[in-house]
């Protein structure tokens, strides 16, 4: 793990891990690429900022379909061999199509949306000395259980709980505003008794500052990170058809690869 008060190394790391996500999804024949590219910088910040001791603190991926982003980060952090990445969602691979606790470094098996924040709240309650960072998606907030967990975290003053929201404004069938608007998510969390910070989810300075502030808080913290679906690949950005892809065309793959190499 590298420490970074100056987060230049994270900025450098980002496109190379983005490229790993692209490779694994291409080589394995498909996967949830759009949200993985939008959430990647958030996961990088959790694992490589040096803010958290992940032997004791816990990262929970509630939006389990974003596992490609987590897998590349865990491989980079040395939890398992990077060669495994190309086996993603293949028969016999530990790298399931949705995050599985069988993978070294993963604490919670997920995939059915809306459940992770409750699990994270239980962890935070049971071990008040540890920080628990839960990554949710914005679309996931359509699940009622998220709001049950939000009430709970407020009641039990879970100041060691951080909900890091990958807010890319899209879900599988279209834009969140079309499918089921969340309106002012920040205001909702404030109303539920949380401390809320809104950041640019691709600006490491903002993400790390928000995490730092959230770590030393009396109240549960929600960091709403505005991100870009398919971040880094021009033709994937803002296009919900890239939520989940099958058999990416080789020409498109090479184009995406080139774009990422030039970043």
Partner 1 sequence: MNNEQSNLSSIRQAFGDTLYNLASINPNIYVVNADLKGSLFLDKFAAKYPRRFIECGVAENNAAGVAAGLSKTGKTVFLTSFACFSPSINWAVIKQSICYNNANVKIVGSHAGLLSTDLGATHQMLEDVALMRSLPNMEVFAPLDALETEKIVSVLAYTPTPAYLRLVRPPTPLLFDRNLNFTIGKSHVLQKGDYATILGYGPVLLELFKLTDLSLEIVNCSSIKPLDEKTILKSVSKTGRLLVLEDHQKNGGLGEAVASLILSSGIKTKFAHLAVNNSFGQSAKDAQPLYDYYGLGLKNIINTLRNLL
Cα–Cα nearest to 262, from 138, 254, 25, 70: 254
**Which of positions 141-180 make contact with partner 1 (CB under 8 A)?**
144-145, 148-149, 151-152, 156
Question: Do 199 and 206 contact (CB within 8 A), yes or no?
Answer: yes
Retrieve residue 142's tokens.
């359509």
Measured from the CB atom, is 44 or 120 closer to partner 1? 120
Measured from the CB atom, is 19 or 160 closer to partner 1? 160
CB of 237 to partner 1, least distance (A): 31
**DSSP label at 231?**
T
With CB under 8 A as the rule, give the number of residues binding partner 1. Answer: 28
CB of 221 to partner 1, least distance (A): 17
Measured from the CB atom, is 156 or 253 closer to partner 1? 156
**Which of positions 107-146 make contact with partner 1 (CB under 8 A)?**
107-112, 114-127, 144-145
Q: Which stretch binds partner 1 (CB under 8 A): 26-34, 45-53, 106-114, 251-259?
A: 106-114
CA distance 136 to 163: 7
The set of residues, in sequence order, having a beta carbon less than 8 Å from that of 77 and lying 6+ positions away, is 1, 47, 48, 105
Q: Does 70 bind partner 1 (CB under 8 A)?
A: no
Measured from the CB atom, is 34 or 114 closer to partner 1? 114
Neighbours of 213 (CB within 10 A): 14
In angstroms, what CA-CA distances link 186 with 145, 193, 202, 212, 241?
A: 17, 11, 18, 19, 27
Measured from the CB atom, is 115 or 171 closer to partner 1? 115
CB of 33 to partner 1, least distance (A): 23
Measured from the CB atom, is 123 or 245 closer to partner 1? 123
127 exposed, middle or buried (CB, 10 Å; 0-12, 13-18, 19+)? middle
The site for partner 1 (CB under 8 A) is made up of 101, 107-112, 114-127, 144-145, 148-149, 151-152, 156
């Amino acid at each position: 793990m590298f420490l970074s008060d100056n987060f230049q190394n994270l900025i450098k790391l980002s496109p190379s891990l983005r490229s790993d996500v692209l490779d694994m999804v291409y080589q394995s024949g498909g996967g949830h690429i759009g949200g993985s590219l939008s959430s990647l910088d958030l996961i990088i910040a959790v694992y490589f900022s040096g803010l958290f001791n992940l032997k004791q603190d816990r990262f929970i991926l509630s939006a389990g379909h974003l596992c490609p982003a987590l897998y590349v980060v865990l491989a980079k952090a040395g939890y398992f061999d990077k060669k495994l990445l190309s086996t993603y969602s293949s028969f016999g691979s530990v790298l399931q199509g949705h995050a599985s606790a069988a993978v070294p470094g993963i604490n919670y098996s997920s995939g059915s949306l809306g459940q992770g924040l409750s699990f994270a709240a239980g962890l935070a309650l049971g071990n008040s000395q540890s920080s628990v960072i839960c990554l949710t998606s914005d679309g996931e907030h359509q699940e009622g259980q998220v709001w049950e967990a939000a009430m709970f975290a407020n009641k039990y003053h879970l100041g060691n709980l951080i909900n890091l929201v990958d807010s890319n404004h899209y879900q599988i069938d279209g834009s969140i505003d079309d499918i089921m608007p969340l309106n002012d998510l920040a205001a909702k969390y404030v109303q539920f008794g949380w401390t809320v910070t809104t950041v640019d989810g691709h600006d490491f300075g903002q993400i790390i500052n928000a995490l730092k502030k959230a770590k030393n808080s009396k109240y549960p913290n929600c960091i709403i990170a505005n991100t870009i679906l398919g971040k880094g690949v021009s033709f994937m950005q803002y296009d919900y058809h890239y939520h989940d892809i099958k058999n990416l065309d080789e020409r498109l793959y090479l184009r995406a690869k080139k774009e990422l190499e030039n970043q």
